[in-house]
């Protein structure tokens, strides 16, 4: 059942996070939106509320623990509990290793790894107290298969895969009843390519996305499925991409 579930979504200001917020809210979820661009969050939350749904938002930089703690606090203050944490915020400044874009390596580790850890740390005590909760995360096919330019990004997404699987196992062993779902998207048309600073790599990836990319609504649909799953069932993972992408 999705109706009345309280769902926190990181990276809700565009792409997959925005599409998921709109879909889950249309199914009756109470969505709590976080990202750095508060103006975009406001527009999305206003749309949802005007359409009869429930949404609140708060500026969130996932690289800080205080922001992650604050958005969980907002969810509990407004809606009394948290049912789902969708750890979705991410960046993909791909580059070849020889370019030595070390600042971007740090940024990816901060957002894609530490952001996920801080999000979990913020919500886990609530899930343990409630004796229930669901963590959904956006990994990537880049976490399953290496490709040139994706050394660090793929590493961060492999981390997401490993992290969530360990959470699932430890939760089962400890009896905390936390369900996990890992999503591995392929080419999805969002703003993500805008994080690539290398023009030749950006051009090459844009061509792939122009040819194959599909709507973020497709990923929202699998999140919907996972949230809707019976409480005794974990949907461990989805790999989702364009039907015609090799």
* Active site positions, annotated: 153
Q: Does 63 bind ligand NDP (CB under 6 A)?
A: yes
Which is nearer to ligand NDP, 63 or 134 (by Cβ)?
A: 63
> Could you say which of 24, 44, 72, 188 contacts ligand NDP (CB under 6 A)?
188
90, 133, 149, 242: which one binds ligand NDP (CB under 6 A): 90
Residues 139-158 that bind ligand NDP (CB under 6 A): 140
Asked if residue 58 binds ligand NDP (CB under 6 A), the reply is no
Q: Which residues contact 165 (CB under 8 A, 6 or more apart)?
A: 180, 182, 236
CA 205 to CA 190: how far, in whole Å?
12
User: How far apart are alpha carbons 93 and 104 in whole angstroms?
Assistant: 6
Q: How far is CA 120 from CA 101, 127, 135, 148, 164, in A?
A: 28, 10, 8, 30, 10
Quick check: 88 binds ligand NDP (CB under 6 A)? Answer: yes
Measured from the CB atom, is 131 or 145 closer to ligand NDP? Answer: 145
The two beta strands, 30-35 and 6-10, are: parallel
From the list 71-79, 86-94, 95-103, 173-181, the region that binds ligand NDP by CB under 6 A is 86-94
Q: For residue 80, how many other CB atoms are within 10 A of its CB?
A: 9
Quick check: 15 binds ligand NDP (CB under 6 A)?
yes
């Amino acid at each position: 059942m999705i109706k009345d579930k309280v769902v926190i979504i990181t990276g809700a200001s565009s792409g997959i996070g925005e599409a998921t917020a709109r879909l889950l809210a249309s199914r009756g979820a109470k969505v709590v939106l976080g990202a750095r661009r508060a103006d975009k969050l406001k527009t999305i939350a206003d749309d949802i509320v005007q359409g009869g749904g429930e949404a609140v938002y708060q500026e969130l930089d996932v690289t800080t623990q205080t922001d992650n703690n604050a958005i969980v606090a907002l969810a509990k203050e407004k809606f009394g509990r948290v049912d789902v944490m969708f750890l979705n915020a991410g960046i993909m400044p791909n580059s070849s290793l020889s370019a030595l874009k070390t600042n971007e390596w740090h940024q990816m580790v901060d957002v894609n790894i530490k952001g996920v850890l801080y999000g979990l740390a913020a919500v886990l005590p609530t899930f343990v107290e409630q004796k229930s909760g669901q963590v959904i995360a956006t990994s990537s096919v880049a976490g399953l298969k290496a490709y040139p330019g994706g050394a660090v990004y793929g590493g961060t997404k492999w981390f997401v895969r490993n992290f969530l699987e360990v959470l699932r196992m430890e939760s089962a062993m400890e009896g905390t009843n936390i369900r996990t779902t890992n999503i591995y998207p392929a080419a999805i048309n969002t703003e993500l390519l805008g994080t690539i600073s290398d023009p030749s790599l950006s051009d090459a990836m844009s061509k792939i996305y122009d040819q194959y990319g599909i709507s973020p609504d497709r990923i929202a649909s699998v999140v919907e499925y996972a949230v809707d799953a019976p409480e005794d069932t974990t949907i461990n993972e989805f790999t989702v991409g364009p039907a015609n992408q090799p």
